[in-house]
Structure 1
Amino acid sequence: MDSFTNHRRKDKVVFVMGATGTGKSRLSIDLATRFHAEIINSDKMQVYKGLDVVTNKVTEDEQRSVPHHLLGVIEPNAEFSALDFRQVAALAVESILRRDKLPIIAGGSNSYIEALVNDEEFQFKDKYDCCFLWVDVSLPVLHSFVSDRVDQMVQAGLVEEVRNMFEPDADYTRGVRRAIGVPELDRYFRLETTVDEPTRARLLAEGIDEIKANTCKLACCQLEKIHRLGDVWEINRLDATHVFHERGKEALEAYEKLVVGPGAEIVQKFLYEDAKLTTPPIVTATTIAGAATLAAAPPPIVTATAPSPIVTATNLAAVVAGATR
């Protein structure tokens, strides 16, 4: 199978941005399966171990065998700043490119993305061509969806997940405890064993409502940041609003037509615009047999002595140490 690096003039990186709940992870995985890519998570809460429901991490099944970097690898109480992300993500990009794959950086923490792209020391913009995709959903529709999604997360075990991490003297300004869904339930956990059932139900409902409100506030802040970045970067907007109005087969068709289809076209043009190719090598069901072999092969999760580390819990410390030296 031809690889995109055989035809490029400059290494290329794709970014998938958007507010919480818009489907960034889904799009990044769909693109990764088409373009022989690996994904670097840029969600500042999903980098941490634990609280998988609260932080809405993609499951192993949802990842569809696409390698993910910086997903659930940081200790829950550790600090992981935008500077830390910049250092580790830059190494992950280089590692992915050395394996002749496309780096896709996906997540809602735009401050992390900005720190990486605008880093003068690493000179990211000088090294790489960047393609920015923005999955957008109108705020009224998104707020309604976010409210329903919080209810689904509660049904999936959000309360029990947070209860298992609850500590009366916990610091909600550090680590994964900053995640929306954790501090909002503090009062409920402190009082649940000392009040009657109606009061417990009221306290829980108030905590859940606060989670919904804070998630909607986060979405607004994320959109404001994307609009500011759009004044500096060329960002390709994909309007997914109609997808959220549909259900079942109609939703899948709308997603293909309005999001993944146009997104794939943008990425294809971005990768091959400077190459004279009649048939760009996109990894699909009809790609030549070599693609299946490559896709089935497990990505190399490498030790500190190997040249191309996937950023996992077992090698993150070595990667960070190397980046800070």
Structure 2
Amino acid sequence: MDNVPMPQPIVALVGATASGKTGLSLDLAERLGGEVVNTDAMQVYRGMDIGTAKLPEAERRGVPHHLLDLREVTEPSTVAEFQGLARDAIADIRERDRVPVLVGGSALYTRAIVDRFEFPGTDESLRRELEAELERIGSHALHERLAGVDPEAAAAILPDNGRRVVRALEVVALTGRPYSASLPRLEYADPLTVQVGVDIDRPTLDARIEQRVEEMFADGLVEEVEALLARGLQDGRTANRAIGYREVVGFLAGDRSLAEAVEQTKAATRRFARRQDAWFRKDPRIVWVAHDDPDRADRAAEAVRAAAPTA
């Protein structure tokens, strides 16, 4: 038994969108003998490439990637479902004595995978009732109701995120407890887990976001959305809420100009990046590396080896 090797660590690379996580994930995978596991809620959709900054296969340096292009845009995707898929992928990677490197922009998805997080059940009848109310009175009115019964959850959920507002109200009604009580605790599901964060100052991040959004539109985001609309994007419950896509849908519907769609996408991305950063800054377990440190990949790899030795 003494010769049985320890399992490989689970590495989660976190930080704001446009901070440089993708490149660092490849560097880490190469140094650690790893494979990348996507934790971005929207990169699971086929055809959502430009607007999600999905790395083209030719640029993945031969590093295997998991949980990309799993769903059509008409199909829903839930955190609970993603948790199971990701944990299965992680188990498979580790069984082959490789290191899973998680990377993506969805903070809740990452936490749901690496932390102890049990999902409350659902009630289809109650869910349909709440969704009907959502259609009738709108997400802001439901958000006000949520604020009355669970202020902490309401503070963490944007008023226009109707799907999450409905879920929070459903959990409160089913459990009699705040929705916030069901969120993941700061306790790893597997102790051999290391989180590495990319630290970047706000002015630099904002400049990167502006450049990224402009490049997305220049690279054909409008045409990508047009193709996805033909495949049923508007009928989906999850995909059509993605930043950039909903703004382009508004442009194509004549609700805003192209210039307005670009600027609104930039603003929404900046807000999203701030929420990501605020979420991760609350986690004291994260080891931070500077985005502009030329040795950031080596420092990150050292942190992984120090915190979760593999031998």
Is the CA contact (8 Å cut-off) linking 1:10 and 1:127 kept in structure 2?
no
The equivalent of 1:218 in structure 2 is 272
Amino acid aligned to 1:129? L
**1:239 matches 2:286:** no
The equivalent of 2:258 in structure 1 is 204
Amino acid aligned to 2:304? V
Cα distance in 2 for residues equivalent to 1:31 and 1:160: 34
The equivalent of 2:301 in structure 1 is 264
The equivalent of 1:24 in structure 2 is 21
Is the CA contact (8 Å cut-off) linking 2:114 and 2:190 kept in structure 1?
no
Is the CA contact (8 Å cut-off) linking 2:13 and 2:21 kept in structure 1?
yes
Is the CA contact (8 Å cut-off) linking 1:11 and 1:127 kept in structure 2?
no
Deviation at 1:271, TM superposition (A): 4.3
Is the CA contact (8 Å cut-off) linking 1:132 and 1:236 kept in structure 2?
yes
Cα distance in 1 for residues equivalent to 2:82 and 2:97: 22
Deviation at 1:121, TM superposition (A): 5.8
- Indicate which of 91, 111, 115 corresponds to 1:114: 111
Deviation at 1:58, TM superposition (A): 0.6
**1:142 matches 2:231:** no
Cα distance in 1 for residues equivalent to 2:213 and 2:278: 22
- Indicate which of 59, 71, 83 corresponds to 1:62: 59
Deviation at 1:269, TM superposition (A): 2.5
Is the CA contact (8 Å cut-off) linking 2:197 and 2:287 kept in structure 1?
yes
The equivalent of 1:49 in structure 2 is 46
Q: How far does the alpha carbon of each residue in 1:42-93 deviate from its partner, in whole angstroms, 9 at most, with x for none? A: 0111111112101100111221111111012222111111111111111111
Cα distance in 2 for residues equivalent to 1:106 and 1:55: 13
Of stretches 97-106 and 6-15 in structure 1, the one that deviates more from structure 2 is 6-15
The equivalent of 2:33 in structure 1 is 36
Cα distance in 1 for residues equivalent to 2:12 and 2:77: 20
Deviation at 1:155, TM superposition (A): 1.3
The equivalent of 1:130 in structure 2 is 193
3-state SS of the aligned residue for 2:75?
coil
Is the CA contact (8 Å cut-off) linking 1:47 and 1:73 kept in structure 2?
yes
- Indicate which of 215, 218, 221 corresponds to 1:158: 221
Root-mean-square deviation over aligned CA pairs? 2.6
Off by >6 Å, runs of 4+ in structure 1: none
Deviation at 1:127, TM superposition (A): 3.7
Of stretches 113-122 and 54-63 in structure 1, the one that deviates more from structure 2 is 113-122
Cα distance in 2 for residues equivalent to 1:187 and 1:75: 21
Distance 1:191 1:92, change over 3 A: same
Cα distance in 2 for residues equivalent to 1:55 and 1:26: 15
3-state SS of the aligned residue for 1:20?
coil
Matched positions, count = 243
Runs of 5+ consecutive residues of structure 2 not aligned to the other structure: 120-184
